[in-house]
Structure 1
Amino acid sequence: MTDDPPLRILHCFRSPVGGIFRHVRDLAMEQSRAGHAVGILCDSSTGGEHEERLFQTIMPYLSLGLTRMAIDRSITPRDIPAFWRSYKEIRSLQPDVLHGHGAKGGAMARLAGSLLRVNRYRVSRLYTPHGGSLHFSRRSWSGWAVFTLERLQEWFTDGLIFVCDFERRTYEEKVGRVFRRNEVVYNGVGEADFEIVPESPDAVNFLYVGMLRDLKGPDIFVDAFAKTERLLKRPLSAMMIGDGPQKQKYLDMMTSRGLGRRITMLPAMNIREAFASSQNVVVPSRAESMPYIVLEALAAGRTVIASDVGGISEVLGKGSDALIPPGDSDALAKAMAESITVPGWKESHLPDREKFHAVFSSKTMASRITALYQELAGR
């Protein structure tokens, strides 16, 4: 920590699930360890027992507390009373920094922060998109409306933080060139994540972890697995971990291809337990921003094969043979086959471990973000 006095930091976001929740948890813990007072404001209607357990692990780091209230996913008239409730809660906490994550969290932080400024209360207003609204198409009316709102809100923003250069480029393509202070700060994982996970004796050849929906490519994974078996002319093993609206579709796909006994499908579990049960992690997404599964798997010492989408190439390195064109199950099968048959494949095509740690640790992430907070606060 520097000689600057500690900051009072409030992170605002809607849904406490997935990558945003992981990002905020890591950021809050690192900032608290650095001596800052940290709090969280988020939705109360999403998340289950797993998320409740995660909240319990970070409660000791939240000196400004955890505030949960109903926040709709879409824009609705209920946003008006929800915003007023959040504003009163934010005002009572007297933050120095309001950091909004995702579209709804970003709107809440910037609008509340601007109203506080009208009342002569100094607070810095920051925004991280985390993909979110940037997934809309510019050619749709909904996309046009969302990007217009994003542009208007930039006038009430002191700083933007993008989790990868891909996200910043996408923002500039769809919203416009950023005219506020902005930084690219990569997602990071904690020191515990960098401990190598030993491989269990019965580890499967390939692991898929994620939502069971076409956007994340489970169908591509199943198709590529079958093609990998044909390439190697022998049966293999795989595991799919997750849940989602199209789960039955993939179960039917596995059954129709006779893969039901060689691909095991399980619900969400502790990610390091999943890594222990696998040799190689496959991320076959059709679209991503900066997925944590890639960072977690590399930190745990696993081989990673992934679609060349979003900011994944910024992690694995442009031109790496571990990067596959999205939707190309033939190319994916070729890489999967080589990863378990070619000696030294992992070392040749994945990033150096020390260099990876230097860039993608949560300590580095939090240090750079907090430095921006200090700069905007004039310290």
Structure 2
Amino acid sequence: MQQQRPLRIIHCFRSPVGGIFRHVRDLAEAHARAGHEVGILCDSTTGGSHEDSLFDEIRPHLALGLVRMPIHRSVGPSDFAALWRGYKEIRSLRPDVLHGHGAKGGAIARLIGSALRVNRYRVARLYSPHGGSLHFCRRSLIGRLVFPLERAQERLADALVFVCDFERQTYFTKVGAPRVRHELIYNGIDDGEFEVITPRPDAVDFLYIGMMRDLKGPDLFVEAFARTERLVGRPLSALMIGDGPQQEEYSELMLQQGLSRRIRMHPAMKTREAFTLARNVVVPSRAESMPYIVLEALAARKPVIASRVGGIPEILGPDSGALAEPADVQSLATIMARSISEKDWATRVMPEPSTFKSRFAASVMSADMLDLYRELCRYQPPTDSVSPTT
């Protein structure tokens, strides 16, 4: 059998924060170890020291390098400069695969990939929404603008990749049935993360870890914590770990609730380090796609309490007793109280570990993604056989 040549793969996304960044890092590392050449193009204006350390970890796996440039969240004239610079950078790297993540990353990958094709340069163009623009209401002003744009860009893609069935069904509902190939490939966790993390003796009762913005529900966490204390009839303890634009608002909310001594706040840190500091993980999001924090916590055998949003029921199970109604403080508090009042709660409610691993391992995700890349590239000429027009 003829040996398949290594692929040259570039991932494009905007913000190097949160689940998209984690997803790309996992794919890049797995595919680099399999002998492929990988690069990243993303925004330079977001992220801090924590993200810088994550880039340092992944950099040895990026044979095609790391390109960071300003890519703003909102649509504006600056996008033209980003597209032109991105085009020049990507053209020089001669990729076989351009994979865009999130609305801005998807637009960059598809537009630049299509421009390369106009110049007789073949490249596979993929788009993974990762929630992103799909969170908008279809009837809102921004929804009426965004979803037709999503529809129009379909013809610039060779495939759409959804990370959960919820995301796929949301796309069908808000954008329409895709007119191009589409696949469901679940997010996955590295095999090394399927190890039990035992909480420290001084671990707190509950942990919130994630972005400090209302979409992720930190305010719901604070209010539910206060109600949980009333339900169990004793003081409890909690940690909120992360950075974000509304951090001061949540500090003020804790002061108003008289909780500033029982809920502490820390800047972003490595997830597995954070897991040692708490006994239960709470994910109170108002909207999600397929959040890595749920996968990471379950892989570490941490009990998870989460909102019934996005793909979370696909992880915990649609009838799981760990699922709270979205944006419902009382529902969340009731489950939080049960998690610390009932000794066998986690054993009864959490997914069976071996079944969970067989479905959500990074090895499964990266292999399925590589098969898709290969299939899309199969009928294209080798990269070095065609020179892009300068």
Shift, 1:114, TM fit: 1.1
Partner-residue secondary structure (3-state), 1:205? strand
User: Hey, what does 1:261 align to over in structure 2?
Assistant: 261
User: Hey, what does 1:175 align to over in structure 2?
Assistant: 175
User: Hey, what does 1:227 align to over in structure 2?
Assistant: 227
What is the letter of the counterpart of residue 324 of structure 1?
Answer: A
Tell me how far apart the structure 1 counterparts of residues 220 and 98 of structure 2 sit (CA, whole Å).
40
1:186 is aligned to 2:200: no
User: Hey, what does 1:34 align to over in structure 2?
Assistant: 34
Aligned ranges 1:95-244 → 2 under 5 Å: 95-244=95-244
Deviation per CA, 1:155-191: give whole Å up to 9, x if none. 1110010111111111111111112111111111212
Shift, 1:3, TM fit: 4.1
Deviation per CA, 1:48-101: give whole Å up to 9, x if none. 221111111111111111112222222222222321221121111111111011
Deviation per CA, 1:13-45: give whole Å up to 9, x if none. 111111111111111000111111111111222
User: Hey, what does 1:326 align to over in structure 2?
Assistant: 326
CA contact (8 A) 2:18 2:210 kept: no
Moved more, 252-261 or 155-164: 252-261
User: Hey, what does 2:76 align to over in structure 1?
Assistant: 76
Partner-residue secondary structure (3-state), 2:188? coil
Partner-residue secondary structure (3-state), 2:38? strand
Tell me how far apart the structure 2 counterparts of residues 111 and 144 of structure 1 sit (CA, whole Å).
21
Partner-residue secondary structure (3-state), 1:235? coil
User: Hey, what does 1:18 align to over in structure 2?
Assistant: 18
User: Hey, what does 1:358 align to over in structure 2?
Assistant: 358
The runs of 5 or more residues in structure 1 that have no matched partner are none
User: Hey, what does 2:63 align to over in structure 1?
Assistant: 63
CA contact (8 A) 2:188 2:363 kept: yes
CA contact (8 A) 2:18 2:211 kept: no
Aligned ranges 1:301-312 → 2 under 5 Å: 301-312=301-312
Task: Report the RMSD for the aligned CA atoms in angstroms.
Answer: 1.5
User: Hey, what does 2:246 align to over in structure 1?
Assistant: 246
Percent of paired sites with the same residue:
62
The count of corresponding residues between Structure 1 and Structure 2 is 378
Tell me how far apart the structure 2 counterparts of residues 224 and 138 of structure 1 sit (CA, whole Å).
30
Tell me how far apart the structure 1 counterparts of residues 101 and 248 of structure 2 sit (CA, whole Å).
32
Partner-residue secondary structure (3-state), 2:347? helix
What is the letter of the counterpart of residue 51 of structure 2?
Answer: E
User: Hey, what does 2:388 align to over in structure 1?
Assistant: none
Check 1:282–1:32 CA distance in 2 against 1; reply closer, same or farther (3 A cut): same
Tell me how far apart the structure 1 counterparts of residues 121 and 250 of structure 2 sit (CA, whole Å).
53
Tell me how far apart the structure 1 counterparts of residues 81 and 263 of structure 2 sit (CA, whole Å).
48
User: Hey, what does 2:387 align to over in structure 1?
Assistant: none
What is the letter of the counterpart of residue 47 of structure 2?
Answer: G
Tell me how far apart the structure 2 counterparts of residues 46 and 253 of structure 1 sit (CA, whole Å).
26
Deviation per CA, 1:277-307: give whole Å up to 9, x if none. 1000011111111111111111111000000
Partner-residue secondary structure (3-state), 1:268? coil
User: Hey, what does 2:296 align to over in structure 1?
Assistant: 296
TM-score (norm 2): 0.93
User: Hey, what does 1:278 align to over in structure 2?
Assistant: 278
Partner-residue secondary structure (3-state), 1:279? strand
Moved more, 269-278 or 25-34: 269-278
What is the letter of the counterpart of residue 362 of structure 2?
Answer: S
Check 1:223–1:79 CA distance in 2 against 1; reply closer, same or farther (3 A cut): closer
Tell me how far apart the structure 2 counterparts of residues 324 and 341 of structure 1 sit (CA, whole Å).
17
Moved more, 314-323 or 270-279: 270-279
Shift, 1:366, TM fit: 0.8
Tell me how far apart the structure 1 counterparts of residues 237 and 115 of structure 2 sit (CA, whole Å).
56
Tell me how far apart the structure 2 counterparts of residues 73 and 52 of structure 1 sit (CA, whole Å).
20
Check 1:58–1:198 CA distance in 2 against 1; reply closer, same or farther (3 A cut): same
Shift, 1:377, TM fit: 1.2
The runs of 5 or more residues in structure 2 that have no matched partner are 380-390
User: Hey, what does 2:45 align to over in structure 1?
Assistant: 45
Tell me how far apart the structure 1 counterparts of residues 14 and 55 of structure 2 sit (CA, whole Å).
14
Check 1:251–1:299 CA distance in 2 against 1; reply closer, same or farther (3 A cut): same
Tell me how far apart the structure 2 counterparts of residues 206 and 223 of structure 1 sit (CA, whole Å).
13
Partner-residue secondary structure (3-state), 1:155? helix
Partner-residue secondary structure (3-state), 2:10? strand
Tell me how far apart the structure 1 counterparts of residues 76 and 377 of structure 2 sit (CA, whole Å).
33
Partner-residue secondary structure (3-state), 1:321? coil
Tell me how far apart the structure 2 counterparts of residues 226 and 356 of structure 1 sit (CA, whole Å).
32
Tell me how far apart the structure 2 counterparts of residues 96 and 42 of structure 1 sit (CA, whole Å).
18
User: Hey, what does 1:371 align to over in structure 2?
Assistant: 371
Partner-residue secondary structure (3-state), 2:222? helix
